Structure 1
């Protein structure tokens, strides 16, 4: 599903985030290959609502602080777990690989906080990235925290596409992998969605909210280290929950 008007607003914000300067109607229309009339209507609507302004007359449009205020209020209502970025930074320091916090978004796992590895060759994991629940260690970690009927409902809607030779291709295979992973104590990524990418994921419950904590990198660096990565994640989660027992509801 892709609602064009909503997508245009998001693409416009991404444009300003990338360019970090005002832009004229003509420049924006040319950049996106949008009709001038619809570009004019979009910019005019956002300006009228207080979300765009002209820093100098005729210098072009730029987002106002209203965006930050709005997002700040949204975040205050459902904040990420406290000190979560620090936890991810610790895991990167421990392992040398990318660390990710993910949550469920429909049939996908959505990356809500990330810290990437310092290596030049690394798992690129920007905030907002989505990966399928059924084909990734991150996703199966999140599926494991659902009730059986909820998980079955998600898997009934899945299109089992062969992304790589190791992709799990049925709901039964996913269920078996979840059961094996829960018995082992951690979830393993084996290049099932992205070729040559592997890692370890574990569940992190914070009150009623459910997350997955992932450490991942190129298979040639992590395939022989999976139990070691699991130990690092377990130690950091246990220390984090002990420190934040009241907030996490433990």
Structure 2
């Protein structure tokens, strides 16, 4: 009989419990339902939170799976998941452009990469699922910010400017609001000075939500390539979204 790795089994049991509950749950409830010690349950949930598989509920004490869990096995049985077309769309964009294709959703003050199609060109962005980028300072982060209420954006800016990262550059609320208005008006974002030196990204919101969270897709590569092929890539993205997602537009719990 194969040796049982207790921590691995517990991770799966936690995810299966959320599948049954289909709502947020506290450390105490999860420990009680699964018969685990509260201390080890708290540590396990904290690890899953750090890895981007769980997020806090509004009370900051309960937990809920992130969209990363939703898309984790979408490639295995695509007909069973509403996000199958997202995967097909990303594969199509990757084949058409040769660039890195990224799917992201907001997690606290970060944009979390849920799925990545690696580039086939010489410029490969070394990112993978689970990568975090600041909402305030990344291309896909700005796209996701454009869906948020003004008071939420203001809160994020104030927290950044008053926090330890302010030394790396304060964010102008007025300038950010102008940029977000521009993203809403034209339907996409272009960042030519991103987190990765020399890289750029064109990002676009998807007409689909998961667990009430918006999703965005981006094409990333050399900044000069993003600049010179901006209109071509925007047209490709819009066409792919229309073909793959518009017929299936709906929120997914």
Shared topology, TM-score over 0.5?
yes
- Any residues of structure 2 matched to 1:110-189 within 5 Å, and which? 110-159=112-161, 169-189=171-191
Q: CA RMSD in A?
A: 2.8
User: Partner of 1:206 in structure 2?
Assistant: 208
Query: Structure 1, residues 68-109: CA drift from partner, whole Å, max 9, x if none?
Result: 464466579563451122221111112111111111111111
What is the number of residues matched between the two proteins? 187
TM-score by length of 1: 0.65
Say which SS state the counterpart of residue 158 (structure 1) adopts: helix
Contact 2:157 2:171 in 1 (8 A): no
Partner residue of 2:100 out of 95, 98, 101: 98
TM-score computed with the length of structure 2 as normaliser: 0.64
CA pair 232-133 structure 1, distance change in 2 beyond 3 A: same
CA contact (8 A) 2:207 2:246 kept: no
Distance 2:13 2:213 in 1: 24
The 3-state SS of whatever aligns with 1:172 is: helix
Evaluate the alpha carbon distance shift between residue 134 and residue 210 of structure 1 in structure 2; reply closer, same or farther with a 3 A threshold.
same
Cα–Cα, structure 1 residues 73 and 121, in superposed 2: closer, same or farther, change >3 Å? Answer: farther
Tell me which residue corresponds to 2:242. 238
Match of 1:223, SS?
helix
Shift of 1:228: 1.4
Extract unaligned runs of 5+ from structure 2.
23-66, 72-81
Q: Secondary structure at the match of 2:111?
A: strand
Measured in 2, the distance between the counterparts of 1:180 and 1:222 equals 18
